[in-house]
Structure 1
């Protein structure tokens, strides 16, 4: 079973090539500089033939020596910050299957093989406070790098260099800044490579994800704005894959949001992207969203039902309600999680990721994509608003019951799409899009409350039936069902007021300038 640590570190090199740790005395807040001797670290790094991991700021290695020998997978999280997933050395040098799975979205199933061997002689000291706590670890590495595998030149030269690493422990980021000032005074500068591997390969590391590129100062084209939005969420989708596989908190929810935002963009910006080319990708994103939805909806429902039971007076909890709910939760979680991880291991999922890459590399742009974004994109937002209006107004007019529930659910999905479209154009349209997005979010949130109650009542009916079959009282489930019905009714009463605010004409006029 893998464990992980969050690593915040900076790398430095000497401008004149000198080696050794500079003096570190006199740093504010540091009571002692403790030296821990030297160790020899021998690490073999693995990557694909086209070096896809290092290109995305990811490193995967098997290292012996030092206090943390083992397999290390480093995933970028932000500036100077990475998550390191660790496994014991085990037997053999084949990459463990658990780590192979964590990088599958980045390798697309390509084989991993050794690309570089790094042998480092490391001198370590720690910066400690007055209580003996380690605030940061500072190390000097004398590195020797050997290229390996078929990608290595026939007579690859051994590269040698020295560098200093400062890794934060219990200290603050301000301590890193202070240490950096002292290192700079000693002639050290930030390393030009984000990792030893990138330096050994001579390959710049691009980082964790495709961030939204800056938009042109003179005003972006519609194509620029839409592709920037797509790039941002494709990057997030890939970056969240490992977190979902490791069952990290909120990861399924965030990955589902990115999948939905991508699909919404492909559907809404048809004036910019040719839907004859993007509809098949949107269909596959819908499939992925469905896989993610089952696990996420189960999370939300579990939390809702547990909190409802916990809030009841003890006298109204009749029978083993909490135990039955726990059993249902565990079984549901095991089923939905297994189905989700299985979906992420399918060729269909990898094909979707590849198709998204192709979409960015060779986008099917329409003629309107070359026009200013501020002229083209408001129409997409307004079209999605009209789509919402066509759904919510008949839903409000429908008689209470299953038909109204279904209509309100469809309106909720339309509100979410309108919100996502407004969010996508917010960097271009600014405040009007932001205000519009907030109103759509309010509509979506209220309709979401209603839908959550509908789903909860369905589950409570099933739990009551299961309790009856087992000879247990079903009183509490009926009580909760009635409470959920009251919540849904209250939400329905609020819908006209929230929609009236979201339907104000001036909200739409501002979008059009």
Structure 2
């Protein structure tokens, strides 16, 4: 079968071997059950030597037996009690022992250049009962498992245990059934599962990744490292989505790069600048590569929005959108090449190392709030200086246009470095970030209209359009001019609050 993904919602319990399961037909919405069916399942689990997958609550296995024999990748879904499961059958997979690319791609930002090796062998005798709903549709599966597991890690050991699994078959939408099953199974011999998965129990303790958070009296170093960890996690989370060109993924990964750079620039004396400069340069390069694809995405969206209310010919639509689509597709391929390079993986390793062992700068022990106040004031002065320079320039001149872009970048830096203070929960920081965002957004909108009007002007001068299309092009240009003036007005209003 081809690769497929589904959300798995299940309950798991430890139980004494041979313990009799309750009659699950008493559960709400269940009117019958199939006769129990027994399978022999044999699975080999794969991970890196560092257990990068297990540490992020991810399991990768090759399993024979049962109705879903093949390769499976299970990842957190963001929904409590649910996991995303990607499956690929043996008919679609490479030779035995070789992990399919479809399973590697979603986790390569974690495994990087490290080799995937067998880390556990698990054999399960599974007895499955399928529960049926009122319409004759399967609603859940109940599995009674007798498990034998051998850790393949150095010093690994052999274990045997029994467990129950109750899995919803409708994506977990019937919460009443799930809650009732949880209560029934706990009351009839089920105990809290000692591990989240068979792999976790087989290999024992793993270096589980902990969500970054601040203590009660954070230093500047605490705040900066926590924020770096948050955006590092965002970078990792959006990596697999960029690889499949998911909607908005390029934008969000690029934002993560820029936020990381803003932390280095906004708090330059909290970390050792010698160590962070190289990281900042590498993140700048990655953001630029992603930016080529993102800029094309933005332009395509603008063009589609402008054309939607116009009676444009197929020729004009093609002139406006085809070139940008080609640019986007080429840029995405370039991004994928960069994201499969040793240089990219080395960048991720360096960020991890920085979080694990941050090199303190001279202001590392400063109070977190004091560090944020200093950063805000420094960035505000930088913006005001740029605004003074703008006032001395001829309005609408190329230099004036470029200076607006400088102000936008400095407002973005103010916003991102102030956003770092969000864990402190102080209202005044949120207000500063909100104003900076308004300035950044307004100038971004203005810049989009300026770039688009230049494109429209070049297209009009090409002589390739009919008179009817030229008329439509003029209407579009007029709308862009109005949008640009509105954006400038929004900027001037917001700038007063900086």
* Pick aligned residue for 2:348 from 337, 348, 353: 353
Distance 1:22 1:395 in 2: 76
Distance 2:367 2:426 in 1: 15
Change (3 A) 1:331 1:36: farther
- Tell me the CA shift for residue 321 of structure 1: 2.3
- Tell me the CA shift for residue 349 of structure 1: 0.5
Please say if residues 296 and 325 of structure 2, whose CA atoms lie closer than 8 Å, have aligned partners that are also in contact.
no
1:195 aligns with 2:197: yes
1:148-163 residue pairs with structure 2 within 5 A? 148=152, 151-153=153-155, 157-163=157-163
Which moved further from structure 2: 469-478 or 124-133?
469-478
Please say if residues 413 and 444 of structure 1, whose CA atoms lie closer than 8 Å, have aligned partners that are also in contact.
yes
Tell me, which stretches of 5 or more residues in structure 2 are unaligned? none
Match of 2:118 in 1: 114
- What SS does structure 2 have at the residue aligned with 1:435? helix
Provide TM-score, normalisation by structure 1. 0.88
Which moved further from structure 2: 481-490 or 453-462?
453-462
1:88-487 residue pairs with structure 2 within 5 A? 88-89=89-90, 90-93=93-96, 94-148=98-152, 151-153=153-155, 157-170=157-170, 171-173=173-175, 175-204=177-206, 206=208, 210-213=210-213, 215-217=214-216, 219-312=217-310, 314=311, 317-318=312-313, 320-395=315-390, 398=393, 399-461=395-457, 464=460, 468=464, 473-487=469-483
Distance 2:407 2:413 in 1: 10
- What SS does structure 1 have at the residue aligned with 2:268? coil
- What SS does structure 2 have at the residue aligned with 1:349? helix
Distance 1:465 1:71 in 2: 56
- Tell me the CA shift for residue 67 of structure 1: 2.2
Please say if residues 254 and 291 of structure 2, whose CA atoms lie closer than 8 Å, have aligned partners that are also in contact.
yes
1:492 aligns with 2:491: no
Change (3 A) 1:492 1:181: same
- Tell me the CA shift for residue 393 of structure 1: 4.5
Q: Deviations over 1:336-376 (max 9, x none)?
A: 11011111011111111011011112211134322322233
Q: Deviations over 1:453-503 (max 9, x none)?
A: 123234444555677189995543343233222211221133221211x22
- What SS does structure 2 have at the residue aligned with 1:25? helix
Which moved further from structure 2: 399-408 or 438-447?
399-408
Please say if residues 274 and 364 of structure 1, whose CA atoms lie closer than 8 Å, have aligned partners that are also in contact.
yes
Tell me, which stretches of 5 or more residues in structure 1 are unaligned? 504-513
- Tell me the CA shift for residue 390 of structure 1: 2.3
Please say if residues 292 and 328 of structure 2, whose CA atoms lie closer than 8 Å, have aligned partners that are also in contact.
no
- Tell me the CA shift for residue 22 of structure 1: 3.3
Match of 2:58 in 1: 58
Q: Deviations over 1:188-210 (max 9, x none)?
A: 23323222111111134626xx5
Change (3 A) 1:116 1:480: same
Distance 1:204 1:50 in 2: 9
1:83 aligns with 2:84: yes
Change (3 A) 1:461 1:77: farther
Provide TM-score, normalisation by structure 2. 0.90
Please say if residues 309 and 322 of structure 1, whose CA atoms lie closer than 8 Å, have aligned partners that are also in contact.
yes
User: How large is the Cα RMSD of the aligned pairs?
Assistant: 2.6
Q: How many residues align?
A: 490
Change (3 A) 1:396 1:491: farther
- Tell me the CA shift for residue 106 of structure 1: 0.8
Structure 1 residue runs of 4+, over 6 Å off?
Answer: 469-472
